[in-house]
A and B are shown apart, each in its own frame.
Chain A
Amino acid sequence: MRRAGWMVAVLLLAGCGIEPTGVTDGGDAPTGVAPGMTLYFVDGTGALVAQQPDTDRLGTISDAVSLLLASSGTPQRRTEIADVGVTRVGVIVAGDVIELRVPLAGRDVTARGIDQIVCTAIAAHVQSGGSLRSTVRIIFTVAEPAADRARTCPVIG
């Protein structure tokens, strides 16, 4: 009986305070640094190609899409988004769904142009630590039938 008493006392004492530990895993490391953002253009064959303009930092989804809207492209990398002179983009990220409010009407972009916007947004999201399975909903200034469905990028994920 006395031995049991000692055991209980020792266990009780051992239970007090916070004791040191070894190195333990704490999960995925944070991410988000990049030499620049990734924008998507259309090459001569009509395929999407990524381009990394020298912006020094990754920036936000909004930054990336705004830069895409402002870019007129090069002879080899053209854009299929009409230049409307306004580049302000509203972004709401809820879990894996990115909602983009673009200053464009549905008729200002082709299907390929929409892919450009979707891929650019997803790339920025993934590079700052988001999921590859993310989807994008684009809200145009003039609503088109079924325009705000969830879209995915054909070259990512």
Chain B
Amino acid sequence: MRLVVAFALVAALSVVVTAWASAQSARAALVASAQQQLVRGVAEQIGATAPTLTYPPAQDSLDRLRAAVGANTVVVYRSLRSSAGDGPGLITAELRGAVAARERLVTQRIVAGDRPWLLIGTPVMITAPDGARSASGIQVYAARDLTAVDRQVDRLVRSTLGTAALALALAVLLALVAAGSVLRPVAKLRDTARRLADGDLGARTPPRGADELAELTVTVNEMAASVQTSMATMHRMQTEARRFAADVSHELRTPLSTLTAVVEVLGDAADAMDADARESVTLAIMETNRLVALVEDLMEVSRFDAGTAGLRREVIDLPSVVHGTLRARGWLHRVTVSAPDRLEARLDPRRLDVIVANLVGNALRHGAPPVRVSVSATAAEVLIEVTDGGPGLRPEALRHVFDRFWKADAARTRTPGSGLGLALARENARLHGGDLTAGNTGTAGARFVAALPTGSEQG
């Protein structure tokens, strides 16, 4: 918009200045030529009449000269004087002085009674045969009305103004068109950039013409294409990595089930072994179980990544599900639960179990007693809050606590957990349309809150 205004102003200014300058020069030329014509007329009349005048002149000679020069004229010679019209009254003392002093024809423009006048004053000279000039004492003063010239100038200025106004309109129109031709491609490019920013990586602007704007458009298109290519590559690599994890976990399951069976058989025979062998068998059983849990978690994560994890909502009583989870894992005596007697919600009980088990397990493993679980509800969602009495989460841990295989203590690499528990818990919460957040309680313990929509309106 600023560009348009600037274009229009420059165009208008140039038109006005040009019009003014041309009007000025035309006016000057007009006035000068009119004046020159009047002066020449007077000089020629005097020159033609002078040789026929007696010298020294008598009154009748002066009268004849005055008549020859025309109206509004006064002719003087010493004490003699012949005058007619308004001329004599208009002659200025300045002009008289100049005629006497310069002995040349002089002019002056004055305005008298709202009318412009040209005053012409001249002495009549005597020329000797050798060309020497001397004043004869005869002086002629004439006044010429310039009103007609004035009107002509007025007409000229008016017509110039009219032309300028016309040109002005045209110039502004041209400026608008020119600015539009520059601004339209810019607007198109802006729209394309906005679509790119909104994620439509296929957005392009067809470049038109061969100016800088077209070059910019081509560059933007190239940039978009390269971003699109990188994004596609990244997406492909991510997909491949996920499929690889899924394939690996799937392939591990079959040998693992065999291994589990073998280890169980070994475990049954362990009582008959000596102490060293029994310890090895116990360790093998424990690690195998851990491996099974890890593979199962991996497969679950793969399902979330592939988007094939299903949600089976049913009406459940939330406190009893939480109790069930704790009871099944033998944690009832280590955890304090505060919950209403009944709280019904439409949730997937299996996934709710995963969430609660992972949160409580995490608190028991990494935090310190007392571990509390509190269940509450708002109008739209249920809240499951798990806190512990440990040192809480460091800021670094807060950022990464939901990352896969992330360990709060890098030195402690071997913990009973798979490293996927909290990540899985959050995926499950999100599958419900809710979320899982981590923080610290006021007394410095870690605090995890799962907020799940009750899902009463949904199937």
Q: Which residues of A are at the interface with B, using a C-beta cutoff of 8 A?
A: 1, 4, 8, 11-12, 15-35, 38, 50, 56-60, 122-123, 126-129, 132, 156-157
Shortest distance from the beta carbon of A119 to any chain B beta carbon, whole Å: 8
The listed residue (A23, A28, A35, A129) touching B98 by CB distance below 8 A is A23
Contacts of B109 in A (CB 8 A): 18-21
- 14 A-B pairs in the complex with CB atoms less than 8 angstroms apart: A8-B16, A16-B153, A17-B154, A21-B108, A21-B109, A23-B98, A25-B102, A25-B104, A28-B104, A29-B123, A31-B127, A33-B124, A60-B51, A132-B130
Contacts of A22 in B (CB 8 A): 94, 108
Give residues 270-299 of B contacting A (CB, 8 Å): none
Q: Which residues of B are at the interface with A, using a C-beta cutoff of 8 A?
A: 9, 13, 16-17, 20, 23-24, 27, 31, 39, 43-44, 46-57, 94-95, 98, 102-111, 116, 120, 122-131, 133, 136, 138, 146, 149-150, 153-154, 157
Most buried by A among B16, B105, B122, B127: B127
The answer to whether A17 touches B127, judged by C-beta atoms less than 8 angstroms apart, is no
Shortest distance from the beta carbon of A51 to any chain B beta carbon, whole Å: 11
The answer to whether A18 touches B128, judged by C-beta atoms less than 8 angstroms apart, is no
In whole angstroms, what is the CA distance A10 to B63 when docked? 47
Which 10 A-B pairs give the minimum distances between C-beta atoms?
A32-B50, A123-B129, A30-B46, A31-B125, A58-B51, A26-B105, A56-B54, A18-B116, A30-B47, A21-B109
The answer to whether A16 touches B154, judged by C-beta atoms less than 8 angstroms apart, is yes
In whole angstroms, what is the CA distance A129 to B102 when docked? 18
If A27-B39, A30-B50, A30-B124 touch, does A35 touch B55 (CB 8 Å cutoff)?
A: yes
If A38-B129, A57-B53, A156-B129 touch, does A23 touch B108 (CB 8 Å cutoff)?
A: yes
If A8-B13, A29-B124, A33-B57 touch, does A17 touch B131 (CB 8 Å cutoff)?
A: no
Contacts of A58 in B (CB 8 A): 50-52, 55
The answer to whether B51 touches A128, judged by C-beta atoms less than 8 angstroms apart, is yes
Most buried by B among A20, A50, A59, A132: A20
The listed residue (B51, B104, B111) touching A29 by CB distance below 8 A is B104
Contacts of A33 in B (CB 8 A): 50-51, 53, 55, 57, 124-126, 136, 138
